[in-house]
Each structure stands twice: as structure tokens, then as C-alpha cells.
Structure 1
């Protein structure tokens, strides 16, 4: 969902391949699917510690989660 499907014509690579985009219809479909997905389903198999270690959460929140998990608490 994150990477676009169509390459931007004439655009040079940005260090991770050529920039890509999604059409308005593709973005709309993805937004509708995401909106219909319960938030609990997005993190069902991932712990707060996993998110912090992967640096997915904002740094301040991630640090808090790691400290809380380290002392056996609940975030």
C-alpha cells in the first residue's frame, strides 16, 4: 500500500528506485479498506516492545513503551 504502482515518467531514482505514485482511485480504495479495518486488527500480532524496537512509534512514545515493558507494566 505504501509504494505506488506507477513510476513517475522522467523522474530520476531517489536512492531507493524511481519515485512512484498511486491514482486517486487507488488511494480512495486503500483509504476505504483501512477505515473499515478495526484498529485492534492492525496491531493484533505486534507488542508495544516490537513497535519500539522497529522504531515504528514516535521516539518519545517508543521510549515510554520500552521502559514500561522493561518493568513489566502495561502501556
Structure 2
């Protein structure tokens, strides 16, 4: 039986590559003394879920994304 689902495992360092516009979805993003995002304080799953869903919807692709921290 063919299933149209899958799993993606993403590293939290990916948050360094996000647009500042996407990070504003989280409100106040904390940074350390060197200006790096405090990854432990960032809900990267929420940002990616909302960003990917929005961009795919623009192309008429409806998708369900569930964010899990492991």
C-alpha cells in the first residue's frame, strides 16, 4: 500500500539560516553575547511548521506537519 507520508529530522542549527521575518513569528528571539541565536530557547519546530505550511499553501499544496522534539 502506497503512503504519502514521511519523516524529516532537522538539526537545530538550521535556525541560523532562517529569515529574520520567519524568526519574528516567535516574538523576542534571545541571542548570546556573540549575537548567535540561543538555540535552546528557540521553538524551531513551530517556526518551520508555520513557514513551510505557508509557502506550500502559496503553491496550492495542503500539508499537515507535526513538530516533535527528540
Q: Based on CA coordinates, which of the two structures has the bigger radius of gyration?
A: 1
Richer in strand (by share): 1
